[in-house]
Amino acid sequence: MRFGIGWRPELGASILANLDRIEIIEVLAEEHVHASAKERRALQFLARTVPVVVHATSLGLASCDPVDARRLDAVARVIGWIEPECWSEHLAFVRSRGIEIGHLAAPPRRQETLDGLARNVENARRVIGSAPLLENVATLLDPPMSDWSESEWIRRVANATRCELLLDLHNLHANATNFGFSAESFLREIPIDRVRMIHLAGGRRIEGDRILDDHLHEVPDPVFALLANAIHENADIILERDGNYPRFETLLGELDRARLAA
Amino acid sequence: MNVEHFLARLYTEDDLDRIVANASPEEKEILAKIDPESLKLARRSFAKKRNAKRARVV
Whether A257 has a pLDDT exceeding 80, the answer reads yes
Cβ(A140)–Cβ(B41) below 8 Å: yes
| Average pLDDT of the residues of chain A | 95
pLDDT (average), residues A96-120: 96
- String of DSSP letters for A197-248: EEEE---EEEGGGEEE--S-SPPPHHHHHHHHHH--TT-EEEE---SS---H
Cβ(A160)–Cβ(A117) below 8 Å: yes
Q: How many residues are given for chain A?
A: 262
List, as ranges, residues 154-183 from A with C-beta within 8 Å of B: 178
Whether A154 has a pLDDT exceeding 70, the answer reads yes
| Out of A100, A103, A140, closest to residue B38 by CB | A140
Give B-chain residues touching A178 at CB under 8 angstroms: 38
Give the minimum alpha-carbon distance from B50 to chain A in angstroms, rounded to a whole number: 5
Band (pLDDT 50/70/90 cuts) for residue A234 is confident
pLDDT (average), residues B16-43: 94
Which pLDDT belongs to residue A96? 95
Amino acid at A50: V
CATH 3.40.50.800 fits A3-243, yes or no: no
Tens digits of residue pLDDT in A164-188: 999 999 999 999 999 999 999 999 9
Whether B54 has a pLDDT exceeding 70, the answer reads no
SS3 assignment, position A25: strand
pLDDT (average), residues A228-233: 80
Which pLDDT belongs to residue A229? 84
Sign of the CA dihedral A87, A55, A49, A260? negative
Interface test with B, best of A34, A61, A141, A204 (most B CBs within 10 A): A141
Band (pLDDT 50/70/90 cuts) for residue B58 is very low
% pLDDT > 90, chain A: 94
- CA–CA separation, A221 and A161 (whole Å): 32
- CA–CA separation, B30 and B20 (whole Å): 11
Least confident span in A18-22, A46-50, A139-143, A230-234: A230-234
Give the minimum alpha-carbon distance from B30 to chain A in angstroms, rounded to a whole number: 6
